[in-house]
Amino acid sequence: MDGVPVTVTCRVLKLARQPYYRWLDKPVADAVLEEPYRANALFDAHCDDPEFGYRFLADEARGAGARMADRTAWRICRDNRWWSVFGKQRGRGKKAGPPVHDDLVSRKFRSRKFVRALERHRMVGSIGRVGAAGDNAAMKSFFSLLQKNVLDRRSWATREELRIAIVSWIERTYHRRRRQAALGRLTPVEFETVMTTPALQAA
């Protein structure tokens, strides 16, 4: 109120004076000023790759210079409804069949028809030890991403068309843009570059 001393006003409202003077010195906080830049960086990344979730969008935004925590990226994406194209489709697809390599499908390799199919496609069936999922977990994870990001996106007219789409996704997105927590938030190409240089120097 005009004419009322700040000290009296703060005492009546039970407010500390220091926050008031900080606000008076800077009415708009730095975080509020940075919010639009962060949102723009996230939106650009979302438009470029609609399949990315908020964690990967945050990685892309940080790469563009807009530093933020994953939680901040999640809040901005939630408020603006920038969802991954896969986010609303969980659980709707059919359950995938058994892979070629598994510890529970050994009976499949006794089928002559199945063995001939493997030979026709120049594939070798392998069986892991029961309970030892680590030997093929990485490949299952990769092929799950491939299935979701490429194979299930649309119908493919020819094998060549699908082959080009798979190679493009692997080389353009997975190798060069998809940062992984296990690699220290680096892409596979960046991680290989970092690890190859010391190895060459040691050799």
pLDDT digits (tens, 9 = 90+) for 75-96: 999 999 888 877 655 445 555 4
Mean pLDDT for all residues in the chain: 79
The whole-angstrom separation of Cα 86 and Cα 165 is 18
CA distance to 75, 182, 197, per residue, from 58 (Å): 11, 16, 28
Q: What's 144's DSSP letter?
A: H
Per residue in 12-46, pLDDT (tens digit) is 888 888 888 887 888 877 778 888 899 999 999 88
Q: Is the pLDDT at 69 greater than 70, yes or no? A: yes
Q: Which residues contact 69 (CB under 8 A, 6 or more apart)?
A: 58
